[in-house]
Amino acid sequence: MAEYNAIKIFREYEKRLKSITKLNGFSSDAGNTVAKGWGAMSYFANSNTNFPFCGISPSRAPNFSRRGDDIVITMEYEAVIADKAGPELADNLIMHSIDLLHALLDKSSQERLSGLAIKNSMSDLAFNVPDDARPFGWVSVFLTCEFINRIGGH
């Protein structure tokens, strides 16, 4: 079975999130656990969770257009790092945000997700610091990728 570029891109982002470890020079070992799929963060996070951890999920249904014999798809993914609520949460989320940028951004403007994308971009970082009894907060970013799938050839 052929593997679609959308899945290859998802796996590339997952690989980059898994690199977020102290051994690789990041502020935490959040990359030791990467929860995947819709609602991965809320499903995985509870008071017994080993925080921090990463999550990656498709975000919005893809947009597409025809370009000759190809389908050009624009798809959005959401990446998060969640951490345990407490007095250090704000500081930790700031450090996690820098880790997300370093892990997910291409090394150069020509890299384009290891050659998988035509274009890729990252939204502003969003922080969620709980003001209720939730046991965690998170920092997230939306990742937008434009890529080609060949009609009939995947």
Is-contact 33 53, C-beta < 8 A?
yes
So what's the pLDDT on residue 127?
Answer: 94
Distance of CA 99 to the CA centre of its chain: 12
Write out pLDDT tens, residues 77-124. Answer: 999 999 988 889 999 999 999 999 999 988 776 778 888 888 888 999
Fold of 5-150: STM4215-like (3.30.2000)
Cβ pair 93, 127 in contact under 8 A:
yes
| Predicted confidence band of residue 154 (pLDDT cuts 50, 70, 90) | very low
The count of other CB atoms within 10 Å of the CB of residue 81 is 31
Domain extent listing, the chain: 5-150
Query: Element (H or E) spanning 59, and its range?
Result: strand 53-67
pLDDT, tens only, 12-43: 999 999 999 999 999 999 999 999 876 666 66
Q: Say yes or no to pLDDT of 52 above 90.
A: yes
